[in-house]
Amino acid sequence: MGLDLAVIARDIPKRPFALVGFLALLLLVPLAATSFNRAIKMLGAARWQALHRTVYAVALLAILHFLWMRAGKNDFAEVAVYAAVIALLLGWRLWRVRRSPALAA
């Protein structure tokens, strides 16, 4: 599209998965920028942890992006595998937090 913003803006409604994927990527930028020890000290542990909790939203956006992308081809097998892995990992984390709140940090 030659970075023609008008053409890109007209194309977005046709491909909402691209917008969701781009949003997920944008949400990952601050996480990558603050994923080192000095950033934790600068932000403070509580604010750093709150910021890094956006990874849960990113995971959901990534699954939605992948689901929409594959919907045109009715190919949901790979999406189901990734969704199951994310659900398993998040479920395990939730189970650990409920079992012992000291492990939440």
Torsion (CA) 47, 48, 49, 51 in degrees, nearest 10: 80
53 CB-side CA count, 13 A: 9
Nearest to 54 by CA among 79, 82, 26: 26
**pTM of full prediction above 0.75:** yes
Mean pLDDT, 10 residues at a time, the chain of 105 residues: 84 87 94 93 93 93 93 89 95 89 61
Q: What is the pLDDT of residue 62?
A: 95
The C-alpha angle with vertex 60 and arms to 98 and 4, in degrees rounded to 5, equals 155
